[in-house]
Amino acid sequence: MSTDFKAAADAILQRVTTGEPRVPGVVAMVTDRKGNIYEGAAGVRRMGGDQPMTPDTVFAIFSTTKAITGTAVLQLVEEGKLDLDAPAERYAPDIGKLQVVDGFDAQGEPRLRAPKRPVTTRMLMLHTGGFGYDFFNETYNRLAQEKGQPSVVTASKAALLTPLLFDPGDKWEYGSNIDWCGQVVEGITGKRLGQVFEERIFQPLGMTQTSFAPSPALLQRMASMHARGADGALTAMDFALPNPPEVDMGGHGLHATVGDYMRFIRMWLNDGMGEHGRVLKPETVRMAEQNHLGEKKITMLPGVIPSLSNDAEFFPGLSKSWSFTFMVNDEEAPTGRPAGALGWAGLANLFYWIDRQNGNGGFWATQILPFGDPVSFVGYLDFETAFYRSLQGRKAA
């Protein structure tokens, strides 16, 4: 790694944790195919506290959980135990009971009807299954407010049993699809999702700091959640996901260190091979990284609940697709990320990229709501840009 990049990255972390407005603390790392080439941490785990943010800090990683669930699905496809195009209810029967909500009647009751076709696991992997999130969708938000539909962060079975927003396969909408992928995995394996991850993903990758139900040792190193007010000020929150959860939520439920997640990113850079064994076959990785949405495209995520999310979009104006199970930027991004690279994010302003072409990936972790935080998100984009500038400089040299 160039000393120029280390200096630039360190300066970005310092700026975002000391400027105004700022983030309380951040951990950021970059890896190549062999190992981490940058590890940075700045700020504190909790505003007003004296515990510094360190590389071994534990985060609620929210939707960066999704790609790990997608990996477990792909393993079962490899083994011939899962047909992506079969009705998902074959493996998770409850999904077959869900109906489509077509608005509300004059009394404010949801109008429900049967879906035109069954939900398949392929649709779930691509976010075309018909599910959404209440913080990105007005209908789900209304069902939550008026009908008591539980939030996914309750990690409850009831939170999964939402109506479909449209007929399965009709369009892309980001939502609780990957939680249902977790249910498919549990239905096939007969084990809780966390146990499947432990045996089939975490052990071969050497991921010892990742869990749906963090141990006391992990909890001691947890960063606190913070809320950004309309005035830009931060408030520490006593927010925690249920521990242990009723359901291991494949869409958002993991806690992890950034260093552990880098091991997962390296597996994708290394054609499915982990530090202690193979996780996916090379041909599976090459298949999975392609755009599987066809002509459908990813749309902006509208912030329906302002305390949880701003309007958010990666690289506005650029075409973006979906793979199994990452966003794909179809064109080179302003940061320098090449066309065809993979990436995504987590609700508390965690962001990552996986560039298989150049053999690198990065992860930026904060614990701030709402999503799309201007300070954290811009800091992340600056971090990624600094990395690609240093990469171009080395190529030129």
Please report where in the chains the tokens 């990113």 appear, as a residue. Answer: 265
Closest CA relative to residue 125, chosen from 47, 178, 58: 178
Taking 3-state DSSP, the helix, strand and coil percentages for the chain, each rounded to the nearest 5, stand at 35, 20, 45
Q: Which helix (H) or strand (E) holds 163?
A: none
Active site residue 66: yes
- Pairing between β-strand 277-278 and β-strand 360-365 as defined by DSSP bridges: unpaired
Q: Which helix (H) or strand (E) holds 55?
A: none
Q: Considering just the CA atoms, what is the radius of gyration of the chain in Å? A: 20
- Pairing between β-strand 225-228 and β-strand 368-369 as defined by DSSP bridges: parallel
**Which residues does 292 contact at the CB level (< 8 Å), separation at least 6?**
122, 125, 126, 321, 322, 323, 324
Active site residue 388: no
Tokens of 45: 């785990």
Tell me which of 174, 352, 380, 388 is the catalytic residue. Answer: 174
Tell me which of 66, 91, 140, 309 is the catalytic residue. Answer: 66
Task: State whether residue 142 is helix, strand or coil.
Answer: helix
Active site residue 191: no
Q: What is the DSSP letter of 222?
A: B
Please list the active-site residues: 63, 66, 174
